[in-house]
């Protein structure tokens, strides 16, 4: 209850990226991410990073918010950077390339899915003909992850209030193991009940929702520009070098 | 006249061997409003899950508006019987209130315009207009319950089945919900151990204990039978209970 999913916290702002058709936005920014990941050259990768930052700026999502959510990514990239720069086949330049590309890709996630409500993202995926099973999995993960984490927290609180302390011993390990096991069992029970509730209302394997997305010239234009940039980034590397 | 619900000699045992229903027989006519009361574990939820074929037992027969709950009838039966689950987190699985309330009508094959009308109407009935775009997981329990009921009302079922509608509600929310349910005209079956709400809502009450129907009568008659209620854990036992000596562990 305390922790709400936050990735779409700034979906209510208004910017050229917010009012972009969700399908065009997903495809265009995803293309850009892929293009950036493919860049073999540090300078061009820096250009990619600059473009990512520009898009983030246009989206008006506060940088403090992005930074907070990127902490764990940075914690993952930092040791990788150190290791790669120390290996003979790597070196500082290679390590920087990886770090810059990773950073750019992660930053782009914010304008991509942070600028619309999560349910809109799900519907856009659905309309883009992503397999229905996959879309439903994403949707249910989003809906129930907080129910489950709340459940885990409550179980843990109950243990702690009965004198359980985390230590480095077998007892702690086995207790935590049992807790996780219980969580699985509870989740299974819940999914059975949710499924019953869905079937009761006529669920037949497909989730149907009403949405009307409208693609305007501006939407297509924005997508075209971004995809052109994406292609250009890769082309420069492979023609110049 | 054809019965809304007709159950004959229904027994059900869960996979792990727990016998939850033992020979239940029950007839409910159209338009009736029935309370099913009983202590925890009496089998109320299990009974309700048989009413739209979520559970089907080989022992006994369940007929809804003349149709037996069998695989080939389920689609129609689930349209006729609207089941509101005990835990609204089970009932509300879509990302927005609108999508959740629209889920049933869309699956029924309604056209877009009709879906919108039904959603608007259902939300108005439960007093939650204007919440269409909110996420169910951020609602209060009272609001969740209203929306859960709206997801069923939008399908305009002939029979409304509700499991523990007032659990976890504060007195005001409970009363508002009772008033809301009393205003509906379809056949209603409400399972609860909240006698106050059942008394306000239902003409007839069934007492279920340990998988069996132990009483079935007009609500005022059941409610005034204190001995019956005490015997089935629905009213506090009379007399002062002497504290027992519980040994050294609890007497420190
Ligand atoms: N999925 C299950 N598997 C095994 N046993 C179950 C299952 N669900 C319920 N039971 C058992 O069946 C019996 C009846 O349970 P049921 O949930 O129908 O009771 P209830 O009257 O709804 O109780 P409550 O008031 O607590 O909701 C109980 O003994 C319960 O432990
Ligand atoms: Mg129950």
Q: How far apart are CA B65 and CA A4, in angstroms?
A: 44
Q: How far apart are CA A18 and CA A59, in angstroms?
A: 7
CA atoms within 13 A on the CB side of A44: 20
> For position B249, what pLDDT does the model report?
74
Residue B121 belongs to a domain: yes
What is the pTM for the complete model shown?
A: 0.79
Residue B85 belongs to a domain: yes
> For position A2, what pLDDT does the model report?
42
φ, ψ for residue A84, nearest 5 deg: -65, -40
Domain count, chain B: 1
Residue B251 belongs to a domain: no
Å from B222 to nearest chain A CA? 32
| pLDDT mean for each 10 residues of chain B (252 residues) | 89 93 95 94 94 91 92 90 92 90 91 94 91 87 92 94 90 89 93 92 95 95 93 78 69 64
Length of chain A: 241
CB of B189 closer than 8 Å to CB of B6? no
Nearest to B163 by CA among B218, B88, B102, B215: B88
CATH number of the domain to which B108 belongs: 3.40.50.300
Beta-carbon neighbours within 5 Å of ion ligand 2: B 45
Domain containing residue B134: 3-231
Q: pLDDT for A152-194, tens place per residue? A: 888 888 888 887 887 888 888 888 888 888 888 888 888 889 9
* Distance from the alpha carbon of residue B163 to the mean position of ligand 2, in angstroms: 7
Residue B213 belongs to a domain: yes
Are B103 and A140 an interchain contact pair (Cβ–Cβ within 8 Å)? no
Å from B196 to nearest chain A CA? 27
> For position A210, what pLDDT does the model report?
80
Residue A12 buriedness (CB in 10 A; 0-12 / 13-18 / 19+): exposed
Token pair in block for residue A166: 């985390």
Tell whether ligand 1 has an atom less than 6 A from the beta carbon of residue B210: no
Residue B110 belongs to a domain: yes
> For position A5, what pLDDT does the model report?
55
Residue B242 belongs to a domain: no
Are A140 and B91 an interchain contact pair (Cβ–Cβ within 8 Å)? no
pLDDT at A26 over 60: yes
Q: How far apart are CA B93 and CA B135, in angstroms?
A: 10
- What are the boundaries of each domain within chain A? 22-117+212-240, 127-200
Residues of A in contact with B94 (CB under 8 A): 119, 139, 143, 207, 209
The three-state secondary structure class of B209 is strand
Residue B244 belongs to a domain: no
Residue B246 belongs to a domain: no
């Amino acid at each position: 209850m305390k922790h709400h999913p936050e990735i779409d916290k700034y979906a209510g702002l208004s910017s050229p990226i917010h009012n972009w058709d969700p399908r065009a936005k997903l495809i265009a920014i995803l293309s850009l991410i892929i293009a950036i990941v493919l860049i073999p050259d540090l300078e061009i990768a820096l250009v990619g990073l600059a473009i990512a930052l520009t898009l983030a700026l246009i989206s008006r999502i506060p940088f403090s918010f992005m930074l907070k959510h990127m902490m764990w990514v940075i914690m993952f990239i930092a040791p990788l950077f150190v290791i790669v720069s120390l290996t003979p086949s790597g070196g500082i330049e290679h390590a920087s390339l990886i770090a810059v590309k990773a950073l750019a890709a992660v930053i782009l996630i914010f304008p991509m899915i942070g600028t619309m409500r999560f349910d809109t993202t799900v519907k856009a995926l659905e309309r883009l003909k992503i397999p229905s099973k996959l879309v439903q999995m994403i949707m249910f993960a989003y809906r129930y992850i907080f129910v489950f984490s709340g459940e885990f927290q409550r179980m843990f609180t109950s243990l702690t209030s009965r004198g359980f302390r985390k230590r480095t011993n077998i007892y702690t390990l086995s207790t935590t193991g049992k807790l996780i096991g219980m969580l699985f069992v509870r989740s299974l029970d819940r999914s059975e009940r949710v499924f019953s509730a869905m079937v009761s209302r006529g669920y037949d394997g497909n989730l149907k929702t009403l949405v009307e997305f409208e693609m305007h010239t501006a939407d297509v234009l924005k997508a075209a520009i971004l995809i052109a940039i994406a292609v250009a980034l890769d082309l420069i590397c492979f023609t110049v070098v | 006249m054809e019965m809304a619900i007709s159950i004959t000699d229904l027994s059900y045992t869960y996979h792990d061997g727990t016998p939850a229903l033992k020979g239940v027989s029950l007839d409910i006519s159209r338009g009736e409003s029935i309370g099913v009361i009983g202590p925890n574990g009496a089998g109320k939820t299990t009974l309700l899950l048989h009413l739209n074929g979520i559970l089907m037992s080989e022992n006994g027969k369940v007929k809804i508006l003349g149709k037996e709950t069998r695989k080939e009838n389920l689609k129609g039966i689930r349209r006729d019987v609207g089941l509101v689950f005990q835990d609204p987190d089970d009932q509300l699985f879509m990302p927005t209130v609108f999508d959740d309330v629209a889920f049933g009508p869309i699956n029924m094959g309604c056209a877009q315009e009709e879906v919108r009308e039904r959603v608007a109407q259902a939300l108005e009935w439960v007093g939650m207009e204007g919440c269409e775009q909110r996420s169910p997981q951020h609602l209060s329990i009272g609001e969740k319950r209203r929306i859960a009921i709206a997801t069923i009302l939008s399908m305009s079922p002939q029979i409304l089945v509700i499991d523990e509608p007032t659990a976890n509600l504060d007195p005001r929310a409970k009363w508002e919900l009772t008033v809301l349910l009393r205003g509906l005209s379809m056949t209603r079956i409400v399972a609860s151990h909240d006698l106050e709400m059942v008394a306000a809502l239902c003409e007839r009450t069934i007492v279920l204990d340990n998988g069996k129907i132990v009483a079935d009568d007009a609500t005022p008659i059941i409610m005034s039978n204190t001995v019956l209620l005490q015997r089935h854990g629905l009213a506090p036992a009379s007399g002062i209970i002497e504290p027992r000596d519980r040994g050294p562990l609890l007497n420190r």
